[in-house]
Amino acid sequence: MVLRRIFLVLLVTGATISYSYCQENQNVPDIERYIDKPLTLHKNNLELGLGYQFGALTNIYDNNGHIVADEGIAASNYAVNTQLTYGITERLQLQTLVNYLSYTRRIEPVLQSGVGLNPVTYTQGILNYKGLIDPNFNIKYLLLTNKHKVSIAIGGGISLPVAKYKPEKPTIDAYIYNKYTIGYNFLYTNHNGLGTAVYNLNCAIKLRLGDSRENNSLSKIIVRLYTDYYTAPATVSTNDWHYVFDAGDPNGYTLQSLPLKHKEGDWLSNKLLVDWQAFNITSFQIGGFKQVLFSWVEPD
C-alpha cells in the first residue's frame, strides 16, 4: 500500500503546503498526527513542501527607537519556499531547501547640503533585495527518540554559492522642487546570494509536555527547539556603489564602484515552536526566531 498525505499549514502572513509520498510501513499509522511525526522523515518517504509568505511594515525604527520611515508602507517582503526531504532510514534523512526572497524598503529623504545661498539637496530612494537564496543541502540523524516524551536529532549541511550576490548599478533620477531645492531618487538593487559556501551544524529537540499514551491536554502539546550554527570562512570579493553629486547641477552626479572584500563570519539561529493538536487532523502552531551574528570582517 502507498500512502499520500497532504499537510496544510496556514500562517498569519502566508501558507505552507506539504505533500508526502509514503511507502507502506508497519510502524507508521495510516493517519499520523502532526505532533506524532518524528524529527526525521520515515524510511522511503518523500516529502515536498511549498510555502508563500508576505509581510509589510508601516513604520521602521533605528536602534534608538526613532522612526526612520513612517509614511505609507515603509517596507514589504514576500518569499517563496521549497523544501524536499527524503527518509533514507527511520533515523536518517536528506533535505534540500531552495528559497526566493524579495525585500523592498523605502529610504526616507535625507538632507545632504544647503548652506547660505546654495540650493538645498535631498536624497531618498528604494532599497531592494531580490532573487534566489543560496540552496542548502543537509543531512539529519535521529540520535534519541522516545515518541512518548523526548527526541533529539543532530545534523549538518552546506549552502552552495550559486545565487547572484553582487549589487547592481544603482539608478538615479534628479528632480527639482523649486530653484532652491533639488532632490535625487535612488534605486538600489541587491541580491540574496552570499558569494561563498556556508557550512552549518544543527540540533533539534522535541519535547512532549504530557505522555502520548494519555489522552489529556498536555499530551497534545509539543515544544520544539531548532538551533543552527553557520560559518562562512572564505573571503568574498564584491563591490560597493558610492555617489558624488554636484548640488549646483540637478543632473550632475557620478557613481563610483569601489572594491570590497569581507568575510560573512559566524552566526547562530534559534527557532522555538509550540504545537497544539486540537483535533486529529488539525494542529495550531506559534513560535519565535532569533539570530545572533558573531562576526563580519573586512580584511585589510
Judge contact between 49 and 80, C-beta under 8 A: no
The predicted pLDDT at position 24 comes to 55
**Which residue ranges of the chain lie beneath pLDDT 50?**
1-13, 115
Phi, psi dihedrals of residue 146, rounded to the nearest 5°: -145, 95
Tell me if residue 91 falls in helix, strand or coil.
coil
Which cell numbers in the block locate residue 126?
Answer: 528604494
Q: Which amino acid is at 153?
A: A
pTM above 0.85, yes or no: no
The whole-number pLDDT of residue 125 equals 81
What was the pLDDT predicted at 241? 87
pLDDT recorded at residue 12: 40
Q: What is the pLDDT of residues 119-149, one digit of tens each?
A: 667 777 888 999 999 999 999 999 988 766 8
Q: What is the residue whose three cell numbers read 545572533?
A: 292
| Whole-number pLDDT of residue 11 | 42
61: Cβ contacts below 8 Å, ≥ 6 apart = 67, 68
Considering just the CA atoms, what is the radius of gyration of the chain in Å? 25
Query: According to the model, what pLDDT value does residue 290 have?
Result: 85
Q: Residue 159: its pLDDT value, please?
A: 97
**What are 287-291's contacts with CB under 8 Å, separation 24+?**
291/267
Q: How high is the pLDDT of residue 49?
A: 85
The answer to whether the beta carbons of residues 194 and 231 sit under 8 Å apart is: no
